[in-house]
């Protein structure tokens, strides 16, 4: 039996074959006390040192005991645990399995290095805080399945050994033994297959899918991650957003007992950039960015004058707190780290303006600046494709949220269709997204908008979705405007354009990153903390030592050979 099966037993009941881990052992006045722990509960065991029970159990031994369920003395009741009113006076103890000396203690708030915790992940997961994370993950799965059933969305699975696709990040490849030289790819997402389900006539689809991206791991990412993937036939952004709000509201309620309000706030990409400097705005912070360019139209401050002449802008934030010089220097360091020339600032104190640039201000500027009121104005001058990200950082550093318990959702929509990365045009999301206006798109793809919408929680992008292209001609157009050759289009997307050519309904969908969602709700520092067996930043598993070397003979079965780096 396990501890929770003791519930309802009477004082004096005989207990037999109760299993659990030794959480700790204490000797005290001729008696030995053991805290017995299992998944749900703990209970105290006690026996006389002189009894026939063999001692010598240590922490994490898995044992089986029998004895008598006994009310503890009023004065000894432990109200911190569920069975704290009781103990078991044991008359037999059997060791099921011993434990070696532990590499770290099974308790919360340990400061053990993460690589050690990952190497012994099975012990790490015995700790309450980690166990609770994984249970929350499991509850999230369960709540998703429940709401999907309520919404009558079909769970269908998609293949994971697929043809290489082009979604920006890199594919993991899987060599085929049967067709040497040929490779499958692991899916970056089930995108094309969920669209195929819509072409196949299914009304909707969902799946909790493993997705794979072989990308550099500076950010908190994993080579494999888990997403709730969803698609609606005859769908459009309004249908999808409404359903996602129902789903997210349900997950928060059922899995986390948190009530949230819907509908969520919605803003355009442009609004988000101009007010928050980012397309992932943290709305727990109320302060927004101001464009104070107009204030400097006759300025004597040279770098501002130059900026404005080159159609640049001056963006600012105002805080009522007067930050210390140390704080200001630290903000200066932060923005420089991501590419800014440095922080501009003015301190306003009773209409008096100070700061390194104050002496260059003309009287008009002074009077307009003083209207902001006492406090600090920080600003950045530069081009609009550069400075918003500095303003985003400043906003988050200055107003670092003390609203940690707040939940603040927003939709961001009307993204630009393309973005330019290192001078090359790339779809901001993926090339299956429908342009908002296909005619405009054809004429001016670079300034065209996509029917794409992101869901942002507390400054974190939780998920992404779009209306998809359902017209094979538009699909071809998008790939052409992206810059693909006819041959590329045929080779990589020919089969997909063909599939669109047999009466494809309008369809739209969404995907939510489950690792990120759970980590964000539980305020965990990394998604690794909510994944049972994650990889390190460099894609290694310290537990099993994967990935591992493969010998030449095994490789030869795939007609592959390892080549040393050339010097």
Q: Is the dihedral of CA 415, 421, 426, 430 positive or negative?
A: negative
Query: Closest distance between a copy of itself and the C-beta of residue 16, in Å?
Result: 14
Residue with Cβ nearer a copy of itself (367 or 559) = 559
Contacts of 245 (CB under 8 A, 6+ apart): 262, 263, 264
Query: Closest distance between a copy of itself and the C-beta of residue 137, in Å?
Result: 7
Residue with Cβ nearer a copy of itself (73 or 562) = 562
Query: Closest distance between a copy of itself and the C-beta of residue 190, in Å?
Result: 10
Query: Closest distance between a copy of itself and the C-beta of residue 148, in Å?
Result: 9
Q: Is the dihedral of CA 219, 221, 227, 232 positive or negative?
A: positive
Residue with Cβ nearer a copy of itself (60 or 365) = 60
Q: Which long-range contacts (CB under 8 A, 24 or more apart) does 243-250 make?
A: 243/151, 243/510, 244/455, 244/463, 244/465, 244/510, 244/512, 246/147, 246/151, 247/144, 247/147, 247/148, 247/151, 247/512, 248/409, 248/455, 248/462, 248/512, 250/143, 250/146, 250/147, 250/150
Query: Closest distance between a copy of itself and the C-beta of residue 350, in Å?
Result: 57
Query: Closest distance between a copy of itself and the C-beta of residue 537, in Å?
Result: 10
How would you classify residue 181: left for phi > 0, otherwise alpha for psi between -120 and 50, otherwise beta? left
Query: Closest distance between a copy of itself and the C-beta of residue 545, in Å?
Result: 6
User: Using alpha carbons only, what angle is made at residue 288 by residues 285 and 294, rounded to the nearest 5 degrees?
Assistant: 165
Structure tokens at 288: 């927004």
Instruction: Report how far residue 490's alpha carbon sits from residue 480's, in angstroms, rounded to the nearest whole number.
Output: 11
Residue with Cβ nearer a copy of itself (155 or 329) = 155
Residue with Cβ nearer a copy of itself (420 or 473) = 473
- Rg of the chain in Å (alpha carbons): 30
Residue with Cβ nearer a copy of itself (73 or 257) = 257
Query: Closest distance between a copy of itself and the C-beta of residue 540, in Å?
Result: 7
Contacts of 414 (CB under 8 A, 6+ apart): 268, 269, 270, 436, 449, 450, 452
31-37 and 42-48: which strand pairing? antiparallel
Q: Which of 500, 451, 492 has its CA nearest to residue 171?
A: 492
Query: Closest distance between a copy of itself and the C-beta of residue 83, in Å?
Result: 17
Residue with Cβ nearer a copy of itself (345 or 432) = 432
Q: What is the distance, to the nearest Å, from the Cα of residue 106 to the centroid of all Cα atoms in its chain?
A: 27
Query: Closest distance between a copy of itself and the C-beta of residue 368, in Å?
Result: 53
Task: Please give the DSSP secondary-structure letter assigned to residue 178.
Answer: S
Three-state DSSP state, 303: helix
Residues present in the chain in total: 567
Instruction: Report how far residue 519's alpha carbon sits from residue 537's, in angstroms, rounded to the nearest whole number.
Output: 16
Q: What is the distance, to the nearest Å, from the Cα of residue 39 to the centroid of all Cα atoms in its chain?
A: 27
Query: Closest distance between a copy of itself and the C-beta of residue 305, in Å?
Result: 48
Residue with Cβ nearer a copy of itself (162 or 460) = 162
CB 210 within 8 A of CB 157: no
Query: Closest distance between a copy of itself and the C-beta of residue 120, in Å?
Result: 8
Residue with tokens 């401050």, as numbered in its chain: 301
Residue with Cβ nearer a copy of itself (3 or 53) = 3
Structure tokens at 162: 């697929």
Residue with Cβ nearer a copy of itself (294 or 550) = 550
Task: Please give the DSSP secondary-structure letter assigned to residue 362.
Answer: -
């Amino acid at each position: 039996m396990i501890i929770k099966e003791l519930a309802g037993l009477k004082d004096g009941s005989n207990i037999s074959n109760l299993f659990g881990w030794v959480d700790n052992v204490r000797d005290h006045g001729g008696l030995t006390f053991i805290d017995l722990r299992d998944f749900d509960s703990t209970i105290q065991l006690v026996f006389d040192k002189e009894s026939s029970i063999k001692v010598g159990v240590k922490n994490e031994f898995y044992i089986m005991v029998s004895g008598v369920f006994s009310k503890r003395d009023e004065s000894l009741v432990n109200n911190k645990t569920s069975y704290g009113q009781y103990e078991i006076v044991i008359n037999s103890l059997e060791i099921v399995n011993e434990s070696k000396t532990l590499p770290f203690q099974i308790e919360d708030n340990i400061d053990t290095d993460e690589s050690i915790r990952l190497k012994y992940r099975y012990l790490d997961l015995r700790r309450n805080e980690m166990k609770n994370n994984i249970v929350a993950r499991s509850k999230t799965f369960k709540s998703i399945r429940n709401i999907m059933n309520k919404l009558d969305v079909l769970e269908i699975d998609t293949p994971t050994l697929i043809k290489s696709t082009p979604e920006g990040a890199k594919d993991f490849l899987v060599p085929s033994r049967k067709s040497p030289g040929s490779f499958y790819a692991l899916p970056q997402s089930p995108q094309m297959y969920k669209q195929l389900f819509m072409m196949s006539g299914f009304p909707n689809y969902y799946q909790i899918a493993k997705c794979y991206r072989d990308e550099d791991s500076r950010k908190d990412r994993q080579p494999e991650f888990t997403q709730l993937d969803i698609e609606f036939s005859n769908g459009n952004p309004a249908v999808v957003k409404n359903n996602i709000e129902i789903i997210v509201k349900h997950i928060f309620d059922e899995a986390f007992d948190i009530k949230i309000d819907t509908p969520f706030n919605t803003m355009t990409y442009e609004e988000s950039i101009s007010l928050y400097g980012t397309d992932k705005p943290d709305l727990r912070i109320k302060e927004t960015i101001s464009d104070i360019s107009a204030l400097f139209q006759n300025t004597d401050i040279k770098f501002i004058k130059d900026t404005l002449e080159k159609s640049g802008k001056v963006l600012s934030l105002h805080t009522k707190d007067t930050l210390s010089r140390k704080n200001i220097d630290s903000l200066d360091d932060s923005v420089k780290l991501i590419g800014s020339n440095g922080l501009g600032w003015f301190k306003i104190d009773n209409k008096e303006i100070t700061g390194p640039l104050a002496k260059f201000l003309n009287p008009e500027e002074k009077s307009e600046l003083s209207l902001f009121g006492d406090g600090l104005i920080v600003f950045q001058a530069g081009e609009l494709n550069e400075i918003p990200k500095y303003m985003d950082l400043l906003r988050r550093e200055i107003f670092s949220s003390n609203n940690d318990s707040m939940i603040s959702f927003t939709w961001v929509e009307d993204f630009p269709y393309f973005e330019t990365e290192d001078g090359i045009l790339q779809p901001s999301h993926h090339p299956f997204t429908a342009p908002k206006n296909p005619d405009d798109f054809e004429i001016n793809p670079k300034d065209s908008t996509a029917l794409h919408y992101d869901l942002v929680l507390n400054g974190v992008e939780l998920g992404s979705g779009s209306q998809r292209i359902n017209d094979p001609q538009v699909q071809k157009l998008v790939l052409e405007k992206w810059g693909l050759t006819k041959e590329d289009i045929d080779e990589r997307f020919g089969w997909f354009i063909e599939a669109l050519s047999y009466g494809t309904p309008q369809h739209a969908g969404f995907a939510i990153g489950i690792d990120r969602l759970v980590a964000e709700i539980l305020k965990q520092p990394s998604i690794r903390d909510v994944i049972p067996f994650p990889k390190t930043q460099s894609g290694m598993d310290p537990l099993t030592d994967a990935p591992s070397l493969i010998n030449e003979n095994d490789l030869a079965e795939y007609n592959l050979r390892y080549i040393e780096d050339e010097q």
